[in-house]
């Protein structure tokens, strides 16, 4: 029988045990499936448990590994995907009642690539309905109920990747695939105390994923550490002919031992730290202090004076309304869970064209401003969110769906801690001196911080 602690181990350790025949992929997948069924409803984290297909994939992984055919670190590792990623073996609900019976006859590219790496897909995970609109700020905007953080189930797990954040934090799966348009990986990573990586636009193909904002949507991993996220990213990234916006460069991740050859230059924007809650600020400062041996910190760095927030709002509002125009015009928008989605979100489609075009024009000077900043620094660090998660009123929960029946065993202990467990920092990475610092550096930073009792909360990677 697998002990509870195993479900909270990082991918690299799990892979070593699986490849040494000390951990059975079938037994481990069965344990994760049981936990998803048993504990998933507690956090409103799971939409569909994919037991039959998951066990088939786990059996194949076990047979291949026994025969010496190891595909890599993800071979035999269970995971879940946010329920806007298409899967042919389970419904894809987009977190919204109008689409709760929606099915596709294909898998998304990210699912295909992770399957090729040997990972075992166990569940479709809950999300804020349609991944946006007014729903970003409303915990109850999901037909599965408000996502709850495992650290304290009176509080919201964040959105819109609410299920992936909670599922990883609770040890239901070792990692998950989330999506982000404007904070939907970083927020639940912060609120649930896991590590999230929002990759550069186009690094992971979006083929088979719901579109909210074509020019801003990204898919990315959520796991226990930067190392976990880098392992997943290396398997999922790369050019996909089915997604014309996908990047050809991929993401190579050879783990490097030791500390970087030189100190990394980290910028902390002026005024950011002073505006956050005291507890958040304290955790952020602990994170920075834990890295003092490998970084040089630039404090009070002037942030480019551009209308970042209004520009993003205009782009997401216009493209989101276009993406769901059929839902709006059919009147089925009234079926959405959150009243503000119906009255003030997607129903309000009249984003002036001039606002959208002006926002799009601002993208070039914004990129230029960030390129200038990253000519001086390797990364920008800030608190992931200015506040801790807020209480989430439980407005009803629905039972977890089952795609392949099976018994649920007793599993897991519920963790109960809050402020002092939250991650302290988000790291925005870029280019410096023309050379990309690979995410192995972020792993080194995360490991160093862990030794000091803290880890980086979430990581973004940006490119020119």
Report the chain's C-alpha Rg in angstroms. Answer: 21
Q: Is 286 a catalytic residue?
A: no
Q: Are 82 and 206 in the same domain?
A: yes
- Let me know if residue 96 belongs to a domain: yes
Residue 321, domain extent: 308-363
Token pair listed for 149: 């953080």
d(CA 118, CA 45): 24
Q: Are 319 and 269 in the same domain?
A: no
What's the confidence (pLDDT) of residue 390? Answer: 85
- What CATH code is carried by the domain that includes residue 88? 3.90.1300.10
What b/e string do you get for 303-328 counting C-beta neighbours within 10 Å, with b at 16 or more? beeeeeeebbebbbbbbbbebbeebb
Three-state DSSP state, 377: coil
Q: Are 315 and 339 in the same domain?
A: yes
What b/e string do you get for 19-42 counting C-beta neighbours within 10 Å, with b at 16 or more? beeebbbbebbbbbbbbbbbbbbb
- Let me know if residue 140 belongs to a domain: yes
Token pair listed for 216: 């801003």
Three-state DSSP state, 179: strand
Query: What domain count does the chain have?
Result: 3
- Let me know if residue 141 belongs to a domain: yes
Smallest CA-to-CA distance from 315 within 281, 347, 353 is with 353
- Let me know if residue 247 belongs to a domain: yes
Q: Are 378 and 279 in the same domain?
A: yes
- Let me know if residue 441 belongs to a domain: yes
DSSP string over 297-327: EEEEEPPP-S-HHHHHHHHHHHHHHHHTHHH
Q: Which residue has the tokens 């869970």?
A: 337
d(CA 385, CA 285): 14
Q: Are 209 and 284 in the same domain?
A: no
Three-state DSSP state, 364: helix
| Parallel, antiparallel or unpaired: strands 379-382 and 264-269 | parallel
DSSP string over 417-435: --GGGS---EEEE-EETTE
Q: At what angle do helices 308-323 and 363-374 cross, to 10 degrees?
A: 130
Q: Are 413 and 431 in the same domain?
A: no
What's the confidence (pLDDT) of residue 331? Answer: 86
- Let me know if residue 160 belongs to a domain: yes
Strand partners, 198: 460
pLDDT tens track, the chain, 464 positions: 899 999 999 999 999 999 999 999 999 999 999 999 999 999 999 999 999 999 999 999 999 999 999 999 999 999 999 999 999 999 999 999 999 999 999 999 999 999 999 999 999 999 999 997 545 567 888 989 999 999 999 999 999 999 999 999 999 999 999 999 999 999 999 999 999 999 999 999 999 999 999 999 999 999 999 999 999 999 999 999 999 999 998 999 976 666 667 899 999 999 999 999 999 999 999 999 999 999 999 999 999 999 999 999 899 989 988 898 898 888 888 898 875 655 555 555 567 899 999 999 999 999 999 999 999 999 999 999 999 888 876 444 444 555 643 333 322 333 233 333 344 466 666 533 333 322 333 333 333 333 333 333 455 544 32
Helix then strand count (H, E) for the chain reads 14, 14
Three-state DSSP state, 34: helix
Q: Is 160 a catalytic residue?
A: yes
Q: Are 112 and 233 in the same domain?
A: yes
Q: Are 233 and 272 in the same domain?
A: no
Token pair listed for 243: 């997604």
Q: Are 396 and 440 in the same domain?
A: no
Pick the catalytic residue from 24, 82, 157, 225.
Answer: 82
Pick the catalytic residue from 24, 142, 157, 160.
Answer: 160
Three-state DSSP state, 284: helix
The single-letter DSSP state of residue 45 is: -
235 close to 117: Cβ distance less than 8 angstroms = yes
> CA geometry: angle at 267 spanning 257 and 358, to 5°?
120
Q: Are 18 and 100 in the same domain?
A: yes
- Let me know if residue 387 belongs to a domain: no
What's the confidence (pLDDT) of residue 347? Answer: 55
Predicted TM-score (pTM) of the model is 0.87
- Let me know if residue 239 belongs to a domain: yes
Q: Are 313 and 291 in the same domain?
A: no
Pick the catalytic residue from 142, 162, 184, 246.
Answer: 184
Q: Are 99 and 232 in the same domain?
A: yes
Q: Is 82 a catalytic residue?
A: yes
């Amino acid at each position: 029988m697998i002990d509870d602690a195993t479900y909270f181990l990082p991918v690299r350790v799990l892979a070593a045990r699986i490849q040494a025949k000390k951990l059975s992929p079938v037994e481990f997948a069965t344990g994760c499936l049981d936990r998803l069924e048993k504990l998933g409803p507690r956090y409103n984290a799971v939409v569909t448990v994919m037991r039959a297909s998951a066990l088939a994939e786990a059996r194949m992984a076990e047979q291949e590994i026994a025969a010496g055919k190891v595909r890599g670190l993800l071979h035999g590792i269970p995971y879940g995907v946010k329920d806007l990623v298409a899967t042919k073996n389970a419904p894809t609900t987009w977190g919204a009642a109008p689409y709760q019976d929606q099915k596709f006859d294909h898998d998304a590219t990210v699912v295909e690539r992770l399957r090729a790496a040997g990972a075992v897909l166990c569940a479709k995970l809950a999300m804020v309905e349609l991944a946006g609109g007014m729903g970003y700020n409303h915990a109850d905007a999901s037909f599965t109920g408000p996502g709850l953080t495992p650290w304290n189930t009176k509080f919201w797990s964040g959105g819109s990747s609410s299920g992936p954040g909670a599922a990883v934090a609770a040890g239901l799966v070792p990692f998950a695939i989330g999506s982000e348009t404007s904070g939907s990986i970083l927020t639940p990573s912060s609120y649930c105390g896991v590590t999230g990586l929002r990759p550069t636009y186009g690094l992971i193909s979006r083929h088979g994923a719901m579109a909210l904002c074509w020019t801003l949507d990204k898919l990315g991993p959520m796991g226990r550490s930067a190392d976990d996220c880098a392992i997943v990213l290396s398997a999922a990234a790369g050019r996909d002919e089915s997604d014309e916006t996908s990047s050809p460069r991929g993401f190579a991740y050879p783990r490097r031992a030791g500390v970087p050859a030189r100190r990394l230059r980290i910028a902390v924007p002026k005024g950011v730290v002073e505006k956050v809650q005291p507890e958040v600020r304290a955790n952020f400062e602990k994170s920075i202090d834990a890295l003092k041996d490998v970084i040089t910190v630039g404090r009070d760095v002037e942030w480019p004076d551009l209308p970042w927030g209004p520009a993003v709002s205009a782009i997401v509002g216009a493209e989101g309304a276009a993406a769901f125009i059929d839902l709006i015009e059919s009147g089925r928008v009234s079926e959405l869970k959150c009243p503000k989605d119906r009255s003030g979100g997607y129903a309000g489609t009249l984003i002036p064209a001039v606002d959208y075009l002006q926002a799009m024009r601002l993208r070039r000077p914004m990129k230029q401003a960030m390129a200038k900043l990253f000519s001086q620094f390797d990364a920008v660090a800030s608190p992931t969110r200015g506040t801790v998660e807020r209480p989430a009123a439980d407005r009803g929960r629905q039972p977890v769906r089952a795609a392949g029946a099976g018994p649920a065993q007793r599993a897991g202990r519920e963790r109960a801690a809050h402020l002092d467990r939250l991650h302290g920092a988000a790291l925005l990475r870029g280019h410096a001196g023309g050379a990309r610092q690979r995410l192995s550096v972020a792993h080194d930073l995360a490991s160093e911080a862990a030794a000091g009792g803290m880890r980086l909360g979430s990581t973004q990677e940006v490119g020119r």
